[in-house]
Chains A and B, each alone.
Chain A
């Protein structure tokens, strides 16, 4: 499966979606980061292959040889990327899905409407465009917070929207950035930090152990949520 993650808007959590939601559920698929201003994936402890939007042809050639891949298209490159996709007629067929993450800020929702409309203009069918609601608070009702997008879905029927495709706000994603690890690293780390805490030699080690115990707890919840979101997006 080859998935492009994009939105004209920045700060919608494309990197979280690419690295934490998709990658571990797609057989550890490689991430190609199309970003001239990259503040994303590297900081989250994820390995990414960086590429400029203008190298679209090379990317498509490489994608053909792969079974799974995630293409994280940075906001500053989405326009270029789409225009190149338009230029290489039919190249969008190389992608199985276009995942559009969105957060509730009005400006972002407006950019998201344009992202969906632009993808539609490129001839991409509804079934390939999937939305995921990101950074949603537990007590938010997505139908209210994202009413405009539900309206867009009803009126233009140009993309696939599932109210359950939700990633809840979880401070684990911010904390991961500070420790430079991926969610997978945390989940797969077999260390029992409570045991290690008891034998800790200095304050630094103690602090690390305390931080890791909390991080592991948060990671369990985040992973469960991401499992559900993944199922909802692609069902």
Chain B
């Protein structure tokens, strides 16, 4: 194989937008997209502008792609997404973090989402002990 030729052809492919995925092309301009969104520009307006520039995608595709890019970036950067729980060396569940670190430090970043519907069924099927909860409030207020 002619390495030189392969290199040239692959580079040509890489620079040909028609051959590149929408996700890759969105990734090219992601910083500017994020800046626009942060400034309050609606997603619809961003999508319109991208379409004018030749990158057409539906709202749903845009949303999904944006989430994937953000996720990838977050996992690539060790400083982002660090939870208070980790700093305090605690199990990063919001309950533990809040009680361990005191009322002034309540982490927003440590809320871990469950993707299992059975977890919701379990909550729905449980009868909470209102008296026990009420006693807790009274103890705290004293």
Contacts and interface: CB of A to CB of B under 8 A. Distances in A.
Given A65-B42, A67-B42, A79-B124, A122 B60 contact: no
Most chain A CB within 10 A, of B94, B98, B119, B120, is at: B120
A37 interface: no
Interface string A99-135: 0000000100110011001101111111100000000
A82 B120 contact: yes
B134 A151 contact: yes
B137 A124 contact: no
B115 interface: yes
A65 B44 contact: yes
Interface stretch (B7-15, B17-25, B27-35, B106-114): B106-114
A83 B119 CA distance: 10
Nearest to A152: B133
B1 to A, nearest CB: 42
Interface size grouping (class) on chain B: 35 or more
Contacts of B133: 113, 147-149, 151-152, 155
Nearest to A8: B124
A10 interface: no
Contacts of A150: 134, 137, 140-141
Contact of B137 (A89, A109, A126, A143): A143
A122 B43 CA distance: 24
B137 A148 contact: yes
A143 B141 contact: yes
Contacts of A122: 113-114, 120
A126 B128 contact: no
A103 to B, nearest CB: 14
Consensus secondary structure, chain B interface: helix
A120 B94 CA distance: 9
A126 B114 contact: no
Contacts, number: 109
A125 B136 CA distance: 22
Contacts of B94: 120, 125-126, 157-158
Interface residues of A, number: 40
A61 interface: yes
A117 B95 contact: no
B90 interface: no
Contacts of B114: 86, 121-123
B92 to A, nearest CB: 12
A204 interface: no
Given A125-B111, A150-B137, A83 B117 contact: yes
A148 B111 contact: no
A64 B108 CA distance: 23
Most chain A CB within 10 A, of B63, B67, B132, B133, is at: B133
Interface of B: 42-44, 59-60, 63, 67, 94-95, 98-99, 103, 106, 108, 111-117, 119-120, 123-124, 126-128, 130-138, 140-141
